[in-house]
Amino acid sequence: MQPNSNGNFNATFPGSLSVPYNDTPQAPDNSILLPNGLRATSINTATWFGTGSQRIILPVVTCDPRKNLKKGQYFNDQCFAPPSYGQQGTLEEPYIHSPAYFDSDLALYKSFQITGNQSFQLRISATNFLNHPLKEFNASGGSADDTLNFTTVLPLSGTNSHTLQALSQTNTNAQTNGTPLAKSGFRSLLFSAKYYF
């Protein structure tokens, strides 16, 4: 799973941390105090590490994500947390496999001799003839079911125009729970006739 999800389970972090404004002085200050004394309201590699040379922020593995799984789960999404400020997360995560690939194909053909050099052949080929659907993460180019999100979003009491964003210590993406959302694969039949001469 790690190499197929950008090395960090497509981890996303808050992009608009709440700070008190003139119209919302009661909002908590969730910004990041940078070493130069300025405050950042977005978590990205430049604000987290002090440089944009890092490509991604890796989450920290807090437990073995392969253990205590429910039926159909491939990993425990609650075993990941954001790293400490300025630190990188776990580089080598435990090996987590994706759903297995299963395929069963079948081809049948029958030849009929017409003359010495000529024959006629009927063929039927079936790809995935058992019509076994395959579970998969990241279906159709989306990544809803393999994206960890470390953003907490709450409405600000007394107003509908603002929301509070803060860094969450656990995954908040309900669709990433270790279970694939999609299934793919279908039976494909091909009928053909060949005339040999």
pTM higher than 0.95 for the full model?
A: no
Q: Does a structural domain hold residue 52?
A: yes
Strands, DSSP E only, in 82-181?
A: 106-113, 119-127, 134-136, 151-155, 163-167
Q: How many CB atoms lie within 10 A of CB 130?
A: 12
Bridge partners of residue 193, in order along the sequence: 122
Q: Determine the Cα–Cα distance for residues 127 and 1; give it in Å rounded to an integer.
A: 27
In contact, 173 and 188? CB cutoff 8 Å? no
Radius of gyration of the chain (CA): 26
Give the distance, in angstroms, between the CA of residue 119 and the centroid of all CA atoms in the same chain.
Answer: 53
On whether residue 115 sits in a domain, the answer given is: no
Q: pLDDT tens-digit profile of 91-138?
A: 888 999 888 888 899 999 999 999 888 999 999 999 999 988 888 887
Domain count along the chain: 1
Taking only the tens place, the pLDDT of each residue in 57-79 is: 999 999 999 999 999 899 999 99
Q: Are 14 and 150 in contact (CB under 8 A)?
A: yes
Domain interval for residue 7: 1-101+138-181
Which of 6-15, 22-31, 64-73, 174-183 is the least confident region?
Answer: 22-31
d(CA 77, CA 115): 67
Residue-level pLDDT at 60 = 95
The answer to the question of residue 148 being in a domain is: yes
In a domain, 130, yes or no: no
For residue 142, is pLDDT > 80?
no
Confirm whether 186 is domain-assigned: no
Nearest to 90 by CA among 69, 62, 65: 62
Q: Is residue 129 part of a domain?
A: no
Query: Looking at the domain assignment, is residue 142 inside a domain?
Result: yes
Say which residue, 26 or 107, is predicted with more confidence.
107
Helix (H) and strand (E) counts for the chain?
1, 11
Domain assignment present for residue 64? The answer is yes
The closest of 62, 188, 195 to 117, measured between CA atoms, is 195
